């Protein structure tokens, strides 16, 4: 499993405002300017007790692949980073957090060496208002290894994904009210900005006709028994807990499809709606998460929470007690569902820093409360306009809306001195991992996956690497490392390769003993 995150960039220089040109330059810049621990924000490093262990480490890049197994590239007008392939939901969450810190360090270093491009800001989000203009930067794609034999059961995943957003969405402030009769903050807040861009349930396209599930059968999983399951309607998350929970829930639901004979789910009557007035279930859940959704079966309906409970209880019956990670998923899935059902009138404060949309809602409202306390009524009217009241916020007022939209953008800023989430300690944002573990994932691959084989020559012998992709590494001495038929590696063995910094010949011997090394004809 792994994540692809589409990051946003802006510049203070008018010619580069949308960040597109800079996004094109960053991968090549990283190849020529590897990152070291000194390039990362002290606000992050001060929370990592193990920082001294990485004083001599370097994050190299060859082609599009980094020496931790991740991929960085320019795609469709934005910079994209894909995590290495992971076996654990906790490793996915840590790798995602590590990539955010890599992105922030990269633009910091680029800006320092290239001041002509102005003051740069980086964002991890789907859509925001920037400089009075609503811009779409992208989103988050999720990858899973799925049994080919289960692909025909894909339709039973649709209700799960349409309602998963009540627990895993990023939250967003809209530019138009959901309810015309109420202009408070609640009426402008939606769960998933990505829900507004999804046009069809599945298909091969990812840009012009965005789908919920992408059906291309390609890298990184090319194997007779398995294929890639590619969910492209996700929202980026700053809270690692949300990432771990999203991947954990989805992993168990995929197992239901794979392992439970004749598994059936509720069938939603209108999943996506149309381009006109009828919004469909996905947008309904985003805007009205507590309202029931109409099913096809005999005019019945179910709330999003009840649909999620259907999947949760099915997973509990089949998988409870399997291992500690599975039990963590089931326990936290149930706990957060309980929290959601009690959140209609108040955000559960103990989930701030854990559940992404709860966190965004709470931190933006705290910023509003701070402004109310600091400004007198006269000062408030001077800033927000005559008639504006400091005792409440009215988003039909243009200045009030602009202020809130700016806070929404600040929430997504990856700079730890600016981004709203970083008012929360990193030990919370990184949970269920730690800041130390995230730091290790900046420089180290996942030793229990093929990412370690990709990463080793890039880390220690980059001059001997001719090309790299997910399943093949071409070396300059006439050999190729072919990983297409390899499903697993021994974590202790690959960790020893890295810790021992073994010779290039010893690495080739290791690959040859495992049938990975192929002589070019």
Q: Look at the chain and count its residues.
A: 521
What DSSP letter does each residue of 483-516 carry, written as one string?
-TT-----HHHHHHHHHHT--HHHHHHHHHHTT-
The encoded tokens of residue 387 equal 């008639």
Q: Give, to the nearest 10 degrees, the angle between helix 304-319 and helix 324-341.
A: 160
**Digit-coded pLDDT (tens) for 279-299:** 799 999 999 999 999 998 767
Please give the torsion angle defined by the CA atoms of residues 148, 243, 456 and 435, in that order, rounded to the nearest 10 degrees. -160
Model pTM score = 0.93
Cα dihedral 319, 325, 327, 331 sign: negative
Average pLDDT score, the chain: 89
Q: Which residues pair with 230 in a beta bridge?
A: 143, 214
pLDDT, average across residues 302-328? 97
**Digit-coded pLDDT (tens) for 504-516:** 999 999 999 999 9
pLDDT > 70? residue 135? no
**Digit-coded pLDDT (tens) for 246-268:** 999 999 999 999 999 989 999 99
Among candidate residues 376, 478, 362, 368, the one with its CA nearest the CA of residue 424: 362
- The three-state DSSP-derived secondary structure of 289-326 is CCCCEEECCCCCEECHHHHHHHHHHHHHHHHCCCCHHH
Q: Where do the H-state alpha helices sit in 192-347?
A: 240-259, 280-287, 304-319, 324-341
CB 302 within 8 Å of CB 276 = no
Among candidate residues 365, 142, 369, the one with its CA nearest the CA of residue 235: 142
């Amino acid at each position: 499993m792994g994540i692809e995150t589409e990051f946003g960039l802006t510049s203070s220089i008018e010619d580069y405002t949308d960040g597109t040109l800079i996004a094109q330059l960053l991968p090549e810049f990283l190849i020529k300017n590897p990152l070291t621990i000194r390039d990362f924000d002290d606000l992050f490093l001060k929370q990592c007790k193990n920082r001294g262990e990485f004083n001599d480490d370097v994050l190299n890049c060859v082609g599009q692949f980094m020496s931790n197994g991740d991929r960085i590239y320019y795609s469709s007008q934005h910079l994209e980073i894909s995590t290495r392939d992971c076996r654990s939901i906790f490793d996915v969450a840590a790798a995602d957090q590590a990539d955010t810190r890599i992105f922030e360090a990269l633009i910091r270093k680029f800006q320092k060496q290239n001041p002509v491009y102005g003051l740069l800001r980086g964002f991890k989000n789907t859509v925001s208002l920037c400089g009075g203009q609503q811009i779409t930067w992208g989103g988050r794609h999720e990858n899973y290894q799925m049994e080919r034999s289960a692909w025909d059961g894909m339709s039973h995943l649709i209700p799960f994904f349409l309602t998963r957003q009540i627990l895993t969405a990023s939250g967003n402030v809209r530019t138009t009210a959901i309810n015309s009769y109420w202009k408070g903050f609640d009426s402008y807040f939606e769960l998933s900005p990505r829900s507004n861009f999804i046009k069809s349930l599945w298909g091969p396209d990812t840009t012009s006709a965005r789908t919920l599930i992408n059906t291309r059968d390609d890298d990184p999983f090319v194997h007779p028994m398995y294929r890639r399951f590619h969910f492209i309607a996700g929202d980026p998350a700053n809270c690692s807990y949300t990432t771990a929970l999203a991947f954990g829930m989805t992993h168990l639901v995929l197992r239901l499809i794979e392992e439970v004979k004749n598994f059936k789910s509720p069938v939603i009557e209108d999943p996506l709606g149309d381009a006109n007035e009828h919004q469909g279930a996905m947008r309904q859940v985003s805007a009205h998460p507590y309202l029931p959704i109409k099913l096809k079966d005999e005019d019945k309906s179910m709330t999003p929470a009840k649909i999620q409970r259907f999947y949760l209880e099915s997973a509990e019956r089949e998988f409870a007690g399997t291992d500690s990670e599975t039990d963590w998923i089931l326990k936290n899935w149930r706990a957060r569902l309980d929290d959601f059902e009690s959140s209609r009138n108040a955000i559960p404060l103990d989930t701030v820093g854990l559940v992404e949309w709860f966190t965004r809602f709470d931190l933006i409202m705290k910023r509003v409360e701070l402004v109310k306390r600091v400004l007198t009524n006269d000062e408030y009217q001077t800033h927000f306009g005559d008639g504006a009241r400091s005792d409440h916020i009215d988003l039909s007022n243009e200045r009030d809306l602009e202020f809130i939209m700016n806070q929404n953008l600040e929430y997504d800023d990856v700079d730890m001195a600016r981004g709203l989430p970083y008012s929360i300690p990193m030990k919370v944002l990184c949970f269920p991992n730690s800041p130390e573990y995230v730091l290790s994932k900046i420089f180290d691959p996942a030793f229990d996956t093929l990412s370690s084989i990709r990463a080793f020559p890039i880390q220690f012998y980059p001059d001997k690497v001719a090309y790299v992709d997910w399943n093949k590494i071409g070396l300059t001495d006439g050999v190729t490392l072919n990983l297409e038929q390899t499903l697993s590696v021994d974590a202790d063995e690959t960790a020893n390769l890295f810790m021992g910094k073994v010779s290039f010949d010893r690495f080739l011997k290791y690959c040859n003993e495992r049938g990975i090394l192929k002589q070019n004809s």
